[in-house]
A and B are shown apart, each in its own frame.
Chain A
Amino acid sequence: MKNKGLNIMVEKSKYDINVNRLYDQLQKVKDPEIDSVSILELGMVENVQYAKNHVLIELLPTFMGCPALDIIKNNIKQQLLTLDFINAVDVKFIYNPPWTSDRITEIGRQKLKEFGIAPPPIHFEETGEWRVNCPYCDSSYTTLDNIFGPTACRSILYCGSCKNPFEAMKPISTLM
């Protein structure tokens, strides 16, 4: 799995089995508001450190006022504590590097689309212009209805081809 900036530090001897199992559990932690996409696929996991039955997960929040952050934190704890080699879990939100929308993996982008949410545009223009295709019919004949949507990370759009309203993940870039 391609995941920008993800570092994993563990005791070497147990590397293969345990890391895979940690991964599998983290994969089960979904965005509470988009339940098809995991926090790994959203590129929120920056660091996983584990030693002596203790694991520390460092996460990058997508938006700072996002009310889902606490839920995600608890869900991670719950999932990881089911592992027999883990008896303590720490989850920490960090801000360096900042989360940007290009951290969403290819699989994550695909799953967003299946959920009916267009993935964020890959390229952010200096002019601030961005274009997204309709997640239903892939038409580029779309208009932006509201930059702000039902959650901090989404915008509301309309497709002129299949006449569906839809949402898109907002592009977030350090170029802004």
Chain B
Amino acid sequence: MIFSTAAEAVQNEKYKQPLIELLYQLADDDFILAYRGSEWLGLAPHIEEDVAFSSINQDTMGHASMFYQLLEDLNEGPVDCLAHARPANERLNAVLLEMVNGPGTYLIEPKYDWAFTVVRHYFYTVAKKVKIESLKNSSYEPLKHIALKINMELYYHLLHWKTWFKQLCLSNDDAKKRMIQAINTVIAEFDGVLSLGALANEMQEHQIIEGEDLLRQRWMNEMKNVFSEIEIPFPLKIEMKSGNGRLKEHTEDLTEALKTLSEVYRTDPAASW
């Protein structure tokens, strides 16, 4: 069954629950990763990357904002509040995406890990592309329209991260070693990104998005193609060692990030931006 407006969706409780669940996952994923990306501003390897990465973060924050807008339309509360005021134990983002960029902080000795950043962003962007492609046929029409729009911007993000990923993997021994280490770190948490949480079956049943296994398989296929080009064996075991964000399990990294990013909002929640 097709739902063309928020008003129609809110009347059907069985449809609304999995829809809202998915929107929180999509919004919270993009939101926290765009924040982690923005922490690289001024610290990226070179000036062109600083420009490109900032632009990608801006797009990604725009995508999060649209998903939060869809939630607001479904009576979940105002966008700013959804983005800034929800504590860590209400968030549905994957744990991988909240992890710090590396030792140090933005202000004090940021020894951020570029290999980790490239791998995390590349793997995530492939997974996001798989989901967005599926959402282009979603039964929830407002989501379907936004997916088509996001897809066009994602094209450039994917091109960017794939280029970095392949070039570093095919570079000198030091780069290759760091990339393999980063791949292992990311893969140890990546199942959290691929998971659609407790209502995955309902999402599929109502044709909001396709089945979790099918999406996972598509991601794997794309990964295996790329790994065959870089001549690194694809890791066998994909896990989520630090918790399942879809079940609201999180680390201290998220609490700290939310404290920092919502600082201005919390000083005056009623201010207009």
Write the residues of chain A forming the contact surface with B, with a CB cutoff of 8 angstroms.
Answer: 61, 63-67, 95-96, 98-100, 128, 145-152, 156, 170, 172-174, 176
Known: A64-B59, A152-B55. A170 touches B156 (CB 8 A): yes
Rounded to whole angstroms, the CA-CA distance of A172 and B52 in the bound complex is: 17
CB-defined contacts of A156 to chain B, threshold 8 Å: 48, 51
Contact of B63 among A64, A149, A174, A176 (CB under 8 A): A64
Known: A146-B51, A147-B159, A150-B51. A63 touches B146 (CB 8 A): no
Is there an interface contact between A148 and B156, defined as CB atoms closer than 8 Å?
yes
CB-defined contacts of A145 to chain B, threshold 8 Å: 48
- Asked if B152 is at the interface of the complex by the 8 Å CB criterion, the answer is yes
CB-defined contacts of A67 to chain B, threshold 8 Å: 58
Is there an interface contact between A98 and B51, defined as CB atoms closer than 8 Å?
no
Rounded to whole angstroms, the CA-CA distance of A161 and B58 in the bound complex is: 33
Is there an interface contact between B59 and A152, defined as CB atoms closer than 8 Å?
yes
- Asked if B194 is at the interface of the complex by the 8 Å CB criterion, the answer is no
CB-defined contacts of A99 to chain B, threshold 8 Å: 149
- Asked if B56 is at the interface of the complex by the 8 Å CB criterion, the answer is yes
- Asked if B16 is at the interface of the complex by the 8 Å CB criterion, the answer is no
CB-defined contacts of B141 to chain A, threshold 8 Å: 96
Is there an interface contact between A63 and B51, defined as CB atoms closer than 8 Å?
no
Within 8 A of A (CB), among B49-105: 51-52, 54-56, 58-63, 65-66
Question: 1/0 per residue B103-123: CB within 8 Å of A?
Answer: 000000000000000000000
Q: A64-B59, A98-B145, A146-B48 are in contact. List 5 more A-B contacts (CB 8 A).
A: A65-B61, A95-B146, A95-B148, A100-B152, A152-B58
Write the residues of chain B forming the contact surface with A, with a CB cutoff of 8 angstroms.
Answer: 48, 51-52, 54-56, 58-63, 65-66, 141-142, 145-146, 148-153, 155-156, 159-160
Query: A-B pairs with the 5 shortest C-beta distances?
Result: A65-B62, A64-B62, A148-B52, A148-B55, A176-B155
**In chain B, what residue has the closest Cβ to A154?**
B55
**In chain B, what residue has the closest Cβ to A70?**
B273
Is there an interface contact between A176 and B152, defined as CB atoms closer than 8 Å?
yes
Shortest Cβ distance from B225 into chain A, in angstroms? 17
Rounded to whole angstroms, the CA-CA distance of A61 and B58 in the bound complex is: 14
CB-defined contacts of A174 to chain B, threshold 8 Å: 148, 152
Rounded to whole angstroms, the CA-CA distance of A149 and B62 in the bound complex is: 17
CB-defined contacts of B63 to chain A, threshold 8 Å: 64-65
Known: A146-B51, A150-B51, A176-B155. A65 touches B146 (CB 8 A): no
CB-defined contacts of A96 to chain B, threshold 8 Å: 141, 145, 148
Is there an interface contact between A147 and B59, defined as CB atoms closer than 8 Å?
no
Shortest Cβ distance from B64 into chain A, in angstroms? 9
Rounded to whole angstroms, the CA-CA distance of A151 and B48 in the bound complex is: 13
Rounded to whole angstroms, the CA-CA distance of A174 and B153 in the bound complex is: 10
**In chain A, what residue has the closest Cβ to B64?**
A65
Shortest Cβ distance from A138 into chain B, in angstroms? 26
Contact of A149 among B55, B59, B153 (CB under 8 A): B55
